[in-house]
A = this chain, B = another copy of it.
Amino acid sequence: MVDAVIVGTMALDSIETPFGKAEGVLGGSATYASYAASFFCRPGIVAVVGEDFPQDALQILGKRNISLDGLKKEKNAKTFRWQGSYEYDMNEAKTLKTELNVLASFKPDLPAEYRDARFIFLGNIDPQLQLDVLSQIRSPNLVIADTMNFWIEHKREKVKEVIKKIDVLLLNDGEARELFEMPNLSRAGKSALGMGPRAVIIKKGEHGALLFTRAAHFSAPSYPLENVVDPTGCGDCFGGGLTGFLAKTDDVSEWNVRKAMIYGSAIASHNAEGFGLEVLKKISIVDVERRFNEFKSIREF
C-alpha cells in the first residue's frame, strides 16, 4: 500500500548555473516530488525510464521507502533527458535541449496497490498522462496537480481539462498569468478557483507562494537563501513535500494546507542549495523541522 501516488518524469539532467555544472544527474518531477514526499510518508512513483537509467539511482529512491512498483523500465530505449541553464539571477531555467525518448510512448498502467491511494500528486508531465493516471484511481481524498508553461502553450485545453478534475492546482506566477491571461495574481487565482479546484497555489520562487481558496488567502514567505546553487526541482519538491505532509496527517483542511506549504517550502529551500539530490540526500526530517520553525520566526509580527 502506498500513501501517495506521484506521477511525473524521471530524467537525467544536465544543468549549468553561474556557480557550476552537473552532467547526467538524477532529476525529473517524479524523482524530486517523491523524494520530498518520502520525508513524511510512503509515496509510489508512476514513471518510465530507459535501459540507460542507473541502478544506483533506483537504490537511492528505494532506500527512502519509495515504491517503484509503478515504474516502467523500457528495454532498448533511452531515459528522458533535459538540458538547461540558469542566468545569474537564477529565476528561470532556460531549456537548451529536451530528449523525450521513453516518454514519447508512455502509457501509465497503475499497480493494483496504487489504485486505492487517497493522495495523488500529478507532477509536471503531459496533461494527458495526468488524466490517464487519475482515471485509474478509485476514490482519492485529494488530487493535487502541477503544470508548466510548456503544456500551457502546447496543450492548453488539456491542461484545463485536468484543472476541472482536481482539488488543488499548483502553478508558478508566470504560468498563472499566462494561463488566465491576466497580470494580477489575485484575479488569476480567482479565475482558477472558478474552474473547479478548491484551492490554488501560486509558486513565486524567491518570493514564496500564495494560497487562494474561496474563503481565505495565505501568503507563505520564502526562506532567505544566500547560496542558491541550482533551483532545478524546487517546484517539484514543494509539491511533493506538500502532498507527503497532507498524506501523513490525512487532514485536508485549509489550515493544514498552509502548514503543508511551509513544509514543501522548507524542503525546496534545502534542495536549491545543491545540484540534483545532493543536499536532500544529506538532510533528515530534523533539518526540515528546524527550517519549518525558522519559517515561523520569519513571518511573525
Write the residues of chain A forming the contact surface with B, with a CB cutoff of 8 angstroms: 88-90, 183-187, 189-190, 204, 206-208, 210, 212, 216-222, 224-226, 228, 255, 258-259, 261-262, 296-301
Residue in B90, B207, B224 whose CB lies within 8 Å of A183: B90
- What B residues does A299 contact at CB under 8 A? 218-219, 221, 299, 301
A218 to B: closest C-beta gap in Å:
6
Residue of B nearest to A190 (CB): B226
A297 to B: closest C-beta gap in Å:
7
Residue of B nearest to A227 (CB): B184
- What B residues does A186 contact at CB under 8 A? 224-226
User: Are the C-beta atoms of A216 and B297 separated by less than 8 Å?
Assistant: yes
A208 to B: closest C-beta gap in Å:
7
A204 to B: closest C-beta gap in Å:
7
CA distance A220 to B186 in the complex (A): 17
Q: A90-B183, A210-B224, A218-B298 are in contact. List 20 more A-B contacts (CB 8 A).
A: A89-B183, A185-B224, A186-B225, A186-B226, A187-B226, A189-B224, A207-B207, A208-B208, A208-B221, A216-B297, A217-B224, A217-B298, A218-B300, A218-B301, A219-B221, A219-B222, A221-B221, A259-B301, A261-B301, A262-B301
- What B residues does A89 contact at CB under 8 A? 183
